[in-house]
Structure 1
Amino acid sequence: MPERSDDELGMRRPISRRDFIDGVAVAVGAAALGGLGAGAGVAAADTGREAGGPYPPALQGMRGYTNDSMTVPHRLRDGTFWTDAGEPRRTGEEYDLVVVGGGISGLSAARFYQREFDRDARILILDALDDVGGHARRNEFRAHGRLLIGYGGSQSLESPSTFSREARSLIEDVGIEVKRFKKYFDSGFDTRHGLGRALYFDKESWGRDHFVAYRPGTEYAEILKDAPMAGRAKTDLSKIYDAPEDWMPGLTDKQKKDRLARITYREYLTEHVRAHPDAVKFLQTTPNGNWGYGADAVGALDASIEFAGFDGLALNWDEPDRRLAPTGQKLWTSEDDYIYHFPEGNAGVVRALVRTLIPDALPGHGMETITTSRLHYDRLDRKGDRVRIRLGAPAVRVRHVDHARRVEIAYVQSGDLRTVQARHVVLACNNQMIPYLTEEISAEQRAALRYAGKLSLVYANVQVRDWTAFDRLKISSVRYPTMYWGSAGLDFPVSIGDYRFPDDPREPAILHLAKTMCKPGLPPREQGQAGRRELLATTFQDMERAIRDQLARALGKGGFDPARDIEGITVNRWSHAYAYEYGLPWDTFWPDGELPSHVARRRWGRVAVANSDSAPRAYVDSAIDMAYRAVRDLAGKPSDSVSRGVDGVAP
């Protein structure tokens, strides 16, 4: 297949282009800001503004942790901020609680504080980004007058049956009834439309392009019969998926688990299964979506819970092995279907929290209006309100004052350095940022905070004029084992209130693409660092071209034309995304040693630490649990059950 030109791919077409780096919009060129061409489908007036100012879900440009949003934090990191910052201006504002970080953990901390201390407590939430919710991000499109909603970050309420009592209580408190998702999520969508899945092998990696669609339950011998890989690799993959053997003969159950705990999934495939290199290459990226890195970094013991090739070992899983990473433990415990999803992902949880804290910011009542009501950003930070959310305001210093009776918080907004004071502070920002905010912690705690890692990922939402290509090919998603974007597919079929998922293939729709930024061959924490560098060096245009190219190649036989069918692209880049969780074989202190997270989250004075890094586990329930623990810390009360439920070890 000849390489398509930019014109054939539609690179110059004046569509809606939005690029977010860690939550903040970055301009991506004149095409993103100019008028829309005829038939583009996105209302030209939908520029991301409302009467009171910007409307972030529809903002144009790059989104995520942008260079602008990270300028102040990076200057703090580099030690240059205070050289010319001058003295902060005292605002005279005083609060019962200041929360640094407006993600799910920070918002939850505010609500828990109201419940623990005072329903009428004066609370200020500071966040560096231009939208509330942290990694939970809502993307909106307008298609021929119709609203389309996608998720640009935190995805779903995963395995709510495993949530702690405290997390379940918070979810219910803000008006979310998880049982309702069984009605909202169209579990029969794929069956009703006869949709299966697909694999796409690219010629650059496999010698020739090859597309294959298949139905769930199809054996891999059939799926791979025409695939461009070695015959032995096909045989190996058929065994791994459909007839796994005992590739650890002669070992007891304990000996097998001991061995798996010392190696990676890739090492298991190469050393025990002795799989062909093509088979290993095919399986390398299967863990990326859940873990943020591939088979070379996921521990084999954790892989045995989730991935192919282990059933023949006949491992005894009557009880979870303590050595499983937190995600492995969650997978062992959970029996939930993957249906607990708002159209905007966990931005739905954010909106519910905002409504609880500032009721008229999100008008309406009941769970169904969480998605359908418009959030009024001009009502988030109003003088006189008991709770205020101040966006575009990164904190730069936290210190006790007045003989430790108060805490002073310095922050920057619109280039102005200011201070407020509070009775208590919860730091719900990234752990790695905290050592740059305070000089009051020990060297031990500082080192533990810096040990926290973040893995990088990218979510793209693509507005298409219809999804007839998927209907013709009879697929809902496609996996690309070795291409830039690892997967592409129709969004989750969720209808809630007046918002309806496009059931007719002729209707406009959103496609969701995912990319994990990792560097195979390195330990997982180092992969996150390398991926972050690659992410920041990649242009929006590079990502857009890959989107158009991969969709054209996989969906072309279904009649998909990227130049004609793509009407909008929003890229959400998260350079600091998944919290790095502990696991074997990399973190040898796990699970019996003192965990860095337990040291990192120690309260000092009137300051406590929340956020998912404190678990550490990149799930919404852990963010909530850590908020609960932080508030209990401020109240001088224990929360052992929450800590044990999150990270497997009581502090």
Structure 2
Amino acid sequence: MDESNERLDEALGLNTSIARRDFLNGALVSAGALWAAHLSPMQQLVRGQQPAATAPKSSWGGNTQEAFDAGHAVRDGLYDDPNIAAVDTGELFDLVIVGGGFSGLAAAYYFNRAKEGRAKILVLENHPVVGGNARRDEFSIKGQTLYAPQGSIVAQDLPPALAATAPVANIFRELRIDLEKIRVPPEASAFGVLWDQKSHGVSPRWYANVFAAPLPSGVKQDFLAFIQSIMPFYGNSNWKDELERLDRYTFKDYVEKERKWDPGLFRLMLPDLASFFGFPDTVSAAAVYAQYGGGPRALYSFRGGNSGFLRHLVKSLNPKAIRGRDLSDDIINGQINPAALDEEHIAVRIRLGATAVRVEHEGKPDSSNSTRVIFSKSGKLHRLRARGVIMAGGGYITQHVVRDLPLEKREAYGKFRYVPVLWVNVALNNSRALDNSGVNFLSTYHDGFGVMLAVYEKMSAGVPGRPLDANRPNVIGLGVPKFHLGMSPKGQSLNGRLEMRETSFRDYERKIRLELVRLLGPWGFDPRRDIEAIAISRWGHHGYVFPYPGFFTDGAVEAAKKPFGRIAFAHTDLDRFSHMMGAIGQGHRAVQDILSLS
């Protein structure tokens, strides 16, 4: 490195002693050490170097290298032998659920309710903490504990036209969650936007919403036309037919060629599209209308994002799972009690650090009465039996774990594409730049390393009349979907995953600090002085499913949804894009498939 770059790194604070955490697909690759920051995740794993400092804290949401290796060994065929040796646990469950994210835990919730607490249920979770993408980061700054989501930030109301019939619409009421207490204030619900020299050739300014920004008249007019087209979408009785028609286009082509709207509209929406879907120039127009249809809806979030909803779900399944009372504050702040999760006498057991490597029927699938499940835990293979199985992990791993999967389903999964996403949480020791800038809860920007800045504290309204202390610590997030305009979805996915595997923490940290200088520097932000911790979550194929043109009509999702013998499928991919309510809905649907067996 030349002298000028060394000076830049010094000014940015790359050599300061802060907390650093690096996750790859949920696996904690390194924590706390500068030596590890110079190596990419693949370099560290190839060299066999374990994460720095102590073993990963459960609150970090990290995984062990063992679980990371087991998952990739499944993909690479290391467990293909049907006679592979495994310790028989002697257990027989009514239902085994593979995956402890929202879809898996929702499946446990609905099956347990249907069986009135009399069924034996086991959730296999390969991480030391349940949650999937809804796990959270925790930071201790100035004596305060701050939470931040690792990827799943906010919940959204279902469109009114769908909420009346959606079977999961009442789950929050059933979990006794007071939604009004966690409702994002209306003034913070709109996406803010940055105009600056790099993106628009003007002095930097954060606008509370896009209509407050100085839009060209043609773009503003066509943006209004787009909004008018989405507002009544679900109110039309033929909305499903309209989705099929829209699925013929990318949204970009729909804007520019079908509707002949100003091409500036697509550029204006690009960061939004990247945030929701990943690959903005190749996303299906059907996906955009499905997501935006009905117009703005209420947003809800706990400190730490959607991990709060998940914790309530876990507590409802097992009151001893989280220490403290059955009150929302205790559920959010209480420590998870790992020893209570897998007790023999309880109805719903959660087995942490258990990676399913083989799932198959005992006998012919169409006449089998049970399944065999082999999982890896503590470096050993174990075997158990189940009357039914729900696969609640992503399709990228499900297709390898289920050994007798029929060709139709394998071909369907072969059509699925996944978006690599980098989610970055940065803990700050003060909030001056945030206060001075006026940046909103979720704000987008153009032509940067990322596309979204999240200021988590603005998810709540605060205490009326009480001024905020500029010296208060804070946590902000950066959303960095790895897209490459002009490439196919498959090419974008491969390129993004390759970059994530081969880029060192230090190289990403440099980009993060430079990005924050751009986003907050004009309002007094100093990266060397203000940053206390950085946590990077690299979600490769563990990011979110990508709805390409045809994904609503090519039959892949319908084929992948179908139950197979005594195995049902519940992962969020089957909702065509990843969101919390969709994951819960898939869990509910898969339970109905299992219940139909008896």
User: Which bin holds the TM-score, normalised by the shorter protein?
Assistant: 0.7 to 0.9
Q: CA deviation at 1:413?
A: 0.9
Instruction: Say whether residues 1:293 and 2:295 are aligned partners.
Output: no
Which of 296, 312, 333 does residue 372 from structure 1 map onto? 333
Measure, in 2, the Cα distance between the counterparts of 1:486 and 1:571. 16
Measure, in 2, the Cα distance between the counterparts of 1:618 and 1:190. 20
Match of 2:48 in 1: none
Measure, in 2, the Cα distance between the counterparts of 1:402 and 1:478. 54
Match of 1:181 in 2: 182
Counterpart of 1:485 in 2: which secondary structure? coil
Q: CA deviation at 1:273?
A: 5.3
Instruction: Say whether residues 1:516 and 2:481 are aligned partners.
Output: yes
Instruction: Say whether residues 1:473 and 2:473 are aligned partners.
Output: no
Which of 526, 541, 549 does residue 514 from structure 2 map onto? 549
Measure, in 2, the Cα distance between the counterparts of 1:497 and 1:603. 46
Q: CA deviation at 1:54?
A: 5.8
Q: CA deviation at 1:502?
A: 9.8
Answer yes or no: is the 8 Å Cα contact 2:417–2:489 preserved in 1: no
> CA-to-partner distance for each residue in 1:104-124, whole Å, 9 max, x for gaps?
111111111111224132221
Distance 1:566 1:125, change over 3 A: same
Answer yes or no: is the 8 Å Cα contact 1:175–1:366 preserved in 2: no
Letter in 2 for 1:631: V
Distance 1:464 1:419, change over 3 A: same
Q: CA deviation at 1:13?
A: 0.8
Number of corresponding residues? 557
Which of 500, 522, 544 does residue 535 from structure 1 map onto? 500
Answer yes or no: is the 8 Å Cα contact 1:525–1:580 preserved in 2: no
What are the residue-to-residue correspondences of 1:428-467 with 2, within 5 Å? 428-467=392-431
Match of 2:536 in 1: 571
Which of 2, 27, 30 does residue 27 from structure 1 map onto? 30
Counterpart of 1:436 in 2: which secondary structure? helix
> CA-to-partner distance for each residue in 1:572-607, whole Å, 9 max, x for gaps?
221134543545xx21x744x6x2222112222222
Answer yes or no: is the 8 Å Cα contact 1:219–1:238 preserved in 2: no
Measure, in 1, the Cα distance between the counterparts of 2:345 and 2:211. 62
Q: CA deviation at 1:293?
A: 1.6
Answer yes or no: is the 8 Å Cα contact 1:15–1:32 preserved in 2: no
Match of 1:113 in 2: 111
Letter in 1 for 2:481: T
Letter in 2 for 1:198: L
Letter in 2 for 1:298: V
Choose 152-161 or 107-116, whichever is displaced more.
152-161
Answer yes or no: is the 8 Å Cα contact 2:33–2:53 preserved in 1: no
Distance 1:494 1:370, change over 3 A: farther
> CA-to-partner distance for each residue in 1:535-573, whole Å, 9 max, x for gaps?
222222222111111112332232211011000111122
Measure, in 2, the Cα distance between the counterparts of 1:101 and 1:555. 39
Choose 166-175 or 104-113, whichever is displaced more.
166-175
Which of 321, 340, 344 does residue 361 from structure 1 map onto? 321
Counterpart of 2:167 in 1: which secondary structure? helix
Counterpart of 1:410 in 2: which secondary structure? strand
- Unmatched 5+ residue regions in structure 1? 35-46, 225-233, 247-253, 303-323, 639-651
Instruction: Say whether residues 1:131 and 2:116 are aligned partners.
Output: no
Measure, in 2, the Cα distance between the counterparts of 1:148 and 1:502. 19
Counterpart of 1:297 in 2: which secondary structure? coil
Answer yes or no: is the 8 Å Cα contact 2:124–2:352 preserved in 1: yes
> CA-to-partner distance for each residue in 1:367-424, whole Å, 9 max, x for gaps?
3333222222332233443322122211111122378332210010121011111222
Measure, in 2, the Cα distance between the counterparts of 1:398 and 1:56. 27
Match of 1:397 in 2: 358
Letter in 1 for 2:276: N
Instruction: Say whether residues 1:410 and 2:374 are aligned partners.
Output: yes
Letter in 1 for 2:341: L
Measure, in 2, the Cα distance between the counterparts of 1:374 and 1:502. 31
Q: CA deviation at 1:197?
A: 4.9
Q: CA deviation at 1:463?
A: 0.6
% same residue? 28
Letter in 1 for 2:384: V
Distance 1:128 1:388, change over 3 A: same
Letter in 2 for 1:626: Q
Distance 1:530 1:68, change over 3 A: farther
Q: TM-score, normalised by structure 2?
A: 0.82
Letter in 2 for 1:106: G
Distance 1:54 1:560, change over 3 A: closer
Counterpart of 1:167 in 2: which secondary structure? coil
Letter in 1 for 2:275: G
Q: CA deviation at 1:68?
A: 5.0
Match of 2:234 in 1: none
> CA-to-partner distance for each residue in 1:230-276, whole Å, 9 max, x for gaps?
xxxx6765665589999xxxxxxx9x999976543434565575867
Answer yes or no: is the 8 Å Cα contact 2:21–2:32 preserved in 1: no
Answer yes or no: is the 8 Å Cα contact 1:125–1:389 preserved in 2: yes
What are the residue-to-residue correspondences of 1:614-625 with 2, within 5 Å? 614-625=574-585
Answer yes or no: is the 8 Å Cα contact 1:372–1:497 preserved in 2: no
Measure, in 2, the Cα distance between the counterparts of 1:71 and 1:566. 33
Answer yes or no: is the 8 Å Cα contact 1:478–1:488 preserved in 2: yes
Answer yes or no: is the 8 Å Cα contact 1:200–1:479 preserved in 2: no
Match of 1:308 in 2: none
Counterpart of 2:95 in 1: which secondary structure? strand
Distance 1:611 1:334, change over 3 A: farther
Q: CA deviation at 1:102?
A: 0.7
Instruction: Say whether residues 1:199 and 2:199 are aligned partners.
Output: no
Measure, in 2, the Cα distance between the counterparts of 1:548 and 1:79. 40
Distance 1:75 1:329, change over 3 A: same
Q: CA deviation at 1:360?
A: 1.0
Measure, in 2, the Cα distance between the counterparts of 1:405 and 1:489. 49
Counterpart of 2:535 in 1: which secondary structure? strand
Measure, in 1, the Cα distance between the counterparts of 2:537 and 2:467. 23
Counterpart of 1:166 in 2: which secondary structure? coil
Instruction: Say whether residues 1:102 and 2:100 are aligned partners.
Output: yes
Measure, in 2, the Cα distance between the counterparts of 1:189 and 1:141. 24
Q: TM-score, normalised by structure 1?
A: 0.76
Letter in 2 for 1:463: A
Letter in 1 for 2:379: G
Counterpart of 1:451 in 2: which secondary structure? coil
Distance 1:170 1:275, change over 3 A: closer
> CA-to-partner distance for each residue in 1:115-139, whole Å, 9 max, x for gaps?
1224132221112223201111111
Distance 1:601 1:239, change over 3 A: closer
Counterpart of 1:90 in 2: which secondary structure? strand
Match of 1:609 in 2: 569
RMSD over aligned Cα, in angstroms?
3.8
Instruction: Say whether residues 1:505 and 2:498 are aligned partners.
Output: no
Measure, in 1, the Cα distance between the counterparts of 2:117 and 2:247. 47
Counterpart of 1:625 in 2: which secondary structure? helix
Answer yes or no: is the 8 Å Cα contact 2:193–2:210 preserved in 1: no
Measure, in 2, the Cα distance between the counterparts of 1:581 and 1:386. 36
Measure, in 2, the Cα distance between the counterparts of 1:600 and 1:189. 38
Letter in 2 for 1:7: E
Match of 1:319 in 2: none
Match of 2:525 in 1: 560
Measure, in 2, the Cα distance between the counterparts of 1:616 and 1:353. 23
Distance 1:23 1:464, change over 3 A: same
What are the residue-to-residue correspondences of 1:622-637 with 2, within 5 Å? 622-636=582-596
Q: CA deviation at 1:514?
A: 0.6
Choose 537-546 or 67-76, whichever is displaced more.
67-76
Answer yes or no: is the 8 Å Cα contact 2:419–2:541 preserved in 1: yes
